[in-house]
Amino acid sequence: MTADNVVPVRRGTPRLHEWLTRSIHDLAPAIVAELVERLPVYSTLPPEQLRRDIVQVVQRALRGFAAFVRDGGPPDSGDLAALRESAIRRAEEGVPLDAVLGAYFVGARYLVDAFLREVDHHEDPTAVAQLPGQLLTLLQPVTAAVLDGYLRVAQASWSADRDAEQTLLNALLDGKPAGEAAARAGVALPPGYLVLSVAVGRHPDETAPGVDPLIAARRKVRRLRAELRHQTRGTALVTLAADGGLVLLPMPVPADALTAAHWRDLADLVDRLSRQCGVTLTVGAAEAESDGVPDAARLAAEVRQVASTAGRGPGVHRLSDVLLEYQLSRPGAAHAQLAALLRPVAERPDLLDTLQAFLRCALDRRETAARLQVHPNTVDYRLRRVTALTGLDTGRSHDLLLLHAALAALGRPPGHRA
């Protein structure tokens, strides 16, 4: 709310205006003393700053309120600008926003109490009745101005911090010396990193009727970033879009000293993020020290892709989890021929999905049917069609090995249509 669209109120009584004008120089230091007592952060400010800057701000606010009471119109734009500048200074000094806003309400409460002590309720009931409403009306544009000033500094600081962290992330991904970039970002390089390639599923809001999917996607990314910061020790370096991205989690030990407990902690973190943000997270993970981040980032992305192709589902996947599939998916003389074995069913996603699920379910047709939500006889029929079209029988051990290898070489995630 701006000064121009404040709803005008009736002019205050002469008694209130006269008392305010007469009492400003006594009220201002008394209100500052109340701030020091009620808001601990103000007691940490230098005494000279309290006596000069803060007292002057309170005096300006009181004069503005006195004019507001006298005239009944919108607050003076110059007064609002002064309060905005004061909020900018408090933000630059690191005074918390709740204390900056709280100061105005503490001051308003003190002002009401002081006036009630001064005036006889029966002698001037109009002034007593009007004061709370006038204060609340004025506090609307005042708090808007204070928030505007404070958030300008906060957003500029946040942007600078994020830019510095992005520069550090780029240096690590490019394999460049990162010490200087880390110092600019105010980050101590950790002994090691867990490098995560993350695929982010859609949030239900992104497909909900009447909801802008772009807004829902941005909200999803903001929530993921916020939860990562909240739940990570140290500074996680993050680059995320709506469908995924890259995360560098700082670790307290070098890459070769990571234990099973560290990996369990990572799995728990990903599970919490998924639940709290309402999205599926499929993560390829690799460990590295600072100079090994580029290779680890490539490996993590490859592991995630292989895990998705193999139908491993959401969660954390390491190279050790997909060793066979990873190796079979690497380029080589046999790679194209292995993929070609499934060419006859490449246009039949129902058959490929059934084959993948059957292999993932340890050749259990009933579990496969439950996973696909079809009848077990449907599974049998589809597997017979795979055999008829490819010549490879899921009942023969040698053919099973070839089918595993062919699926890995094909590199097709479940549900994908060619």
Q: Evaluate whether 190-322 and 331-410 have a shared fold.
A: no
Looking at residue 203, the DSSP 8-state letter turns out to be P
Does an H or E element contain 197, and which? Answer: strand 192-200
The mean pLDDT of 331-341, rounded to a whole number, is 80
Is the pLDDT confidence value at 237 over 70?
Answer: yes
Torsion 351-354-358-364 (CA) sign:
negative
What is the full DSSP assignment across 207-246? GSTTS-HHHHHHHHHHHHHHHHHHH-SS--EEEEETTEEE
Domain locations along the chain:
14-156, 190-322, 331-410
Q: pLDDT confidence of 330, banded at 50, 70, 90?
A: confident
190-322 topology per CATH? Alpha-Beta Plaits (3.30.70)
CATH number for the domain formed by residue range(s) 14-156: 1.10.490
The mean pLDDT of 307-327, rounded to a whole number, is 87
Is the pLDDT confidence value at 166 over 80?
Answer: yes
Give the model confidence (pLDDT) of 4-53 as tens digits. 443 333 444 557 788 888 889 999 999 999 999 999 888 888 888 888 88
Q: Give the pLDDT score at 10.
A: 40
Q: Report the mean per-residue pLDDT for the chain.
A: 85
Compute the distance between CA of residue 70 and CA of residue 64 in angstroms, rounded to an integer. 10
Q: Give the pLDDT score at 380.
A: 92
Q: Give the pLDDT score at 251.
A: 94
**CATH class entry, domain 331-410:** mainly alpha
